[in-house]
Structure 1
Amino acid sequence: MPDPVKYNKKFDQLSDEEKELLDIAKNSIADFVEHSPSVSDVNYATRNAHAKTYGVAKGDFLISKNIPGQFQKFFDREKYALTIRFSNAHLKINHHKKDIPAYGFSVQIKEENGDLIANYPLVNFPLFPINSVSTFLKLFTSVNRFFIKKWSSFSLVSQILKVIPSTFTGSFLKNLFKLWSKRNDFLLSFDYHSVGAYRLGENMIKIKLRPKSVDRNYGKKLEVKEALENYLRNSDFTAEVLIQICYDLENQPVNRLNVEWKKSPFIKIGEVKIDQNNLLDPRSCENELLSFNPFESKPFFQPVGKIQTLRKEAYKVSMQTRLKINKLLKYK
């Protein structure tokens, strides 16, 4: 294989126009979170994405014994403690209807002493339909304002129409069809992905979590939350942790998120393990207020790319607003 492309700050840089749009989006995030108790009909302020929690569990990240030597310096222990949150991607908590099959598998990795190593919010769809930062920020702002009744549906539809052309790639359509064919499958049977790239030292990588021996038809007649809880109370869960390395920007583009990386083999670096009956109370204040901001990770594990860069301020504003509101509501 050729030498990997090294990380450079240029991959993250926003234009002045994009920074202005980000400020507008941040205001819409704070506004949405402030209204989220009424939007979702709950007694606490929710996240402005992945608002619904299916479960929270403790787990371990077991490092592969034959991990390539170049990565050993980043993972110098046999295992690390994990906190894992399972969620639905929708901004609004759905209490009655069937959820769309857009799931989150967010992982927090910590040292033995409790110090944070990295946050990885993973999802069950490997691509993102928007490459343009400006287009994404305008759409995201319109979605937030639509849910709090400060923008018309016509405005939202006009922004959605601008996104559609970027979904017409072979990779995106293939994965969309795959998701549709698995729409009724058990949450833990999906592969989970980092939508964008992350640093691993000076290298840039994508991450994939591949479950082992999970029946896709498990809990067919149960609600997603109930099926997940039943499974984790009675069974161990194991998933392989695989990475791809960026070797050239043509085949592994950092800022084109609507195509899959090609010509970069998956490398196994370890496994995620959740022992049976290791669930935590998802409604406890401590667990509801968990943050999976990937920019809180150590520098050599942080996100890469322009769309990823938006997460830094978005997570910060969302978390600050949630903390403020939930303290006033005295959420427990």
Structure 2
Amino acid sequence: MPNPLKYNKKFDELNEEEKKLLEINKKTIADFVEQSSSISDVNYATRNAHAKTYAVAKGTFWIEPDIPESLKPFFDKEKFDLTIRFSNAQLKIQNSKKDIPAYGFAVQIRDENGGLLANYPLVNFPLFPIHSVSTFLKLFTAVNKFYIKKWSSLFPMLFQIAKIIPSLLTSDMVRNMIRLIGKRNDFILSFDYYSAGAYRLGDQVIKIKLCPQSVDKNIGRKQKIKDSLKNYLQMHDFAADVLIQICYDLKDQPINRLNVEWKDSPFIKIGEVRINKDSLLDSRNCTNELLSFNPFESKIFFQPVGKIQKLRDEAYKVSVQTRRKINKLLHGKNG
């Protein structure tokens, strides 16, 4: 293989128009979170994305003993402690039996002293449908305004949705959407999970994939997702392979085009995520609801790479600051 491409901060830089749109978007995120308890009809402020928590669990990241020499400095222990949050991508929490199959598998990795090493919010779809930063910001702003103002913001939102259609039509996007439709009723733990965007691994740039080991896709077909997931984790151990791809060439492994898959970069197994049965935490506990899986809180050499990822940094900060402020006030009232 050629030498890995080195990380460059230019991969993350926004232009002036994008910066202005980001400021507008941040205001709508704060507005959404402030009103989120009434939007979702719950007694706390929710996240601005992946609002619905299915479960929170403790896990362990076991490192492969024979990983490549260049990766060993980053994984210098036999195992690391994990906190894992399972979620749905919708902005609004709905008490429905069937949610759209847009699932989150957010992983928080800590060292032996409890210090945070990295956050990785993984999702069950390998691509992100928009690669234009301006288009994404305008759409995200329109969606937030729709949830806050409802019908008066419907047409601006539909207009922005129409603008992303061309980026949904890459062969990779179409193939993965068809595959997702075919798996829409499958058990949440039977899906593969992906970083979608890129991350640093020291000076290298990588993508991450998590592949569950032998989980029956037909589990819990007649149950609510939350119930089937909790029942499974109470009764069964769970294990998944952790694989990475390394960026060697921007043509074959583009960092800022998230609607195409990386090619000519083989997957390397670096370890396994394991959740022992009965390792669930109380997801309704205020401490667990306040958990942040912001990947930009990770150590600098594990942080996200790319323009869309940079937007997530600002969005996470606004969302979590607003959410924590409101929830502490609410918790104080109820305590």
Question: Where on the TM-score scale, by shorter chain, does this alignment land: which range?
Answer: over 0.9
Shift of 1:98: 2.1
Asked if the contact 2:190–2:215 (Cα under 8 Å) also holds between the matched residues in 1, the reply is yes
Q: What percentage of aligned pairs have identical amino acids?
A: 69
Task: Give the Cα separation in 1 of the matches to 2:83 and 2:287.
Answer: 12
Shift of 1:138: 0.4
Segments ≥4 residues shifted beyond 6 Å: none
Task: Give the Cα separation in 1 of the matches to 2:165 and 2:49.
Answer: 21
Matches within 5 A, 1:143-222: 143-149=143-149, 151-222=152-223
Of the structure 1 ranges 55-64 and 146-155, higher mean CA displacement relative to structure 2 is found in 146-155
Deviations 1:38-92 (A, max 9, x none): 0000000000100000000000000001111100000100000000000000000
Shift of 1:257: 0.2
Shift of 1:97: 5.4
Paired letter, 1:308: Q
Task: Give the Cα separation in 2 of the matches to 1:125 and 1:280.
Answer: 26
Question: 1:302 maps to which residue?
Answer: 303
Match of 2:74, SS?
Answer: coil
Question: 2:9 maps to which residue?
Answer: 9
Shift of 1:218: 0.8
Shift of 1:152: 1.7
Shift of 1:300: 0.5
Aligned length: 332
Matches within 5 A, 1:14-29: 14-29=14-29
Question: 1:77 maps to which residue?
Answer: 77
Question: 2:137 maps to which residue?
Answer: 137
Matches within 5 A, 1:233-312: 233-312=234-313
Task: Give the Cα separation in 2 of the matches to 1:127 and 1:74.
Answer: 26
Matches within 5 A, 1:86-101: 86-96=86-96, 98-101=98-101
Task: Give the Cα separation in 1 of the matches to 2:86 and 2:322.
Answer: 22
Using the size of structure 2 for normalisation, the TM-score is 0.98
Task: Give the Cα separation in 2 of the matches to 1:93 and 1:323.
Answer: 18
Paired letter, 1:155: P
Paired letter, 1:109: I
Task: Give the Cα separation in 1 of the matches to 2:130 and 2:96.
Answer: 30
Task: Give the Cα separation in 1 of the matches to 2:286 and 2:316.
Answer: 18
Question: 1:112 maps to which residue?
Answer: 112
Paired letter, 1:193: Y
Match of 2:61, SS?
Answer: strand
Shift of 1:211: 0.2
**Structure 2: which 5+ residue stretches go unaligned?**
none
Shift of 1:10: 0.4
Task: Give the Cα separation in 2 of the matches to 1:329 and 1:289.
Answer: 12
Shift of 1:96: 2.9
What RMSD, in angstroms, separates the aligned Cα atoms of the two structures? 0.9
Shift of 1:37: 0.3
Task: Give the Cα separation in 2 of the matches to 1:313 and 1:37.
Answer: 22
Deviations 1:80-114 (A, max 9, x none): 00000000000000113521000000000001111
Task: Give the Cα separation in 1 of the matches to 2:137 and 2:97.
Answer: 28
Paired letter, 1:122: L
Task: Give the Cα separation in 2 of the matches to 1:327 and 1:114.
Answer: 23
Task: Give the Cα separation in 2 of the matches to 1:327 and 1:153.
Answer: 32
Question: 2:65 maps to which residue?
Answer: 65
Asked if the contact 2:190–2:216 (Cα under 8 Å) also holds between the matched residues in 1, the reply is yes
Task: Give the Cα separation in 2 of the matches to 1:79 and 1:97.
Answer: 36
Question: 1:227 maps to which residue?
Answer: 228
Match of 1:60, SS?
Answer: strand
Using the size of structure 1 for normalisation, the TM-score is 0.99
**Structure 1: which 5+ residue stretches go unaligned?**
none
Task: Give the Cα separation in 1 of the matches to 2:153 and 2:256.
Answer: 31
Match of 1:84, SS?
Answer: strand
Task: Give the Cα separation in 1 of the matches to 2:291 and 2:89.
Answer: 16
Asked if the contact 2:96–2:224 (Cα under 8 Å) also holds between the matched residues in 1, the reply is no
Shift of 1:149: 1.0
Task: Give the Cα separation in 1 of the matches to 2:291 and 2:246.
Answer: 29
Shift of 1:132: 0.5
1:55 maps onto 2:70 in alignment: no
Deviations 1:292-323 (A, max 9, x none): 00000001100000000011111010011001
